[in-house]
Amino acid sequence: MADMIEIRIENANLTSKLKRLAAAGRDQTPAMREASGILADAVEENFDEEGRPKWKRLAASTIRQREKEGKWPGKILQRSGKLAKSITRHYDATSAVVGTNEPYAAIQNFGGKAGRGHKVEIPAREFLHLEPEDEEDLEACFAKFLARAVG
């Protein structure tokens, strides 16, 4: 058996901060609440800007169909607005999530074959997507949470 080295911290201030940090790590609800807002804002911005980076334009046939329906000009993925309105957020002590339960959301986000006989190719238009500035906002959120935790 190897010899053991033990270090004891006898600094009351540091010990107090470490205890507060450990307690904050068990319940990150305030940070997760803020993070879920950042995630939801990113998704909303994706819809507003029609992608970050920009989504592939609609096919001419889709534009013609929308014109017939009186829904063009309009925004990509927002013929009815149902998908954008379906975005929900959830958070708890250890996680933050945004998403949708719309059945067609996955094909719109990831792309793939659709329609009768899966003959139509739907391009990926990632509305559940984070840009580097969103990730920086998340990092800042958690840094602020940790700074508050240790005082």
| Spans of all domains in the chain | 22-150
Q: What is the pLDDT of residues 23-64, one digit of tens each?
A: 777 788 999 999 999 999 999 999 999 999 999 999 999 999
CB-based burial, 79-106: b 16+ in 10 Å, e otherwise: beeebbeebebebeeeebebebeeeebe
pTM, two decimals, is 0.83
Four-residue CA torsion sign, 46, 51, 57, 61: negative
- Which letter does DSSP use for residue 59 in this model? P
Each residue's pLDDT tens digit, 106-140: 999 999 999 899 999 999 999 999 999 999 999 99
Reading the block at residue 6, the tokens are: 């033990």
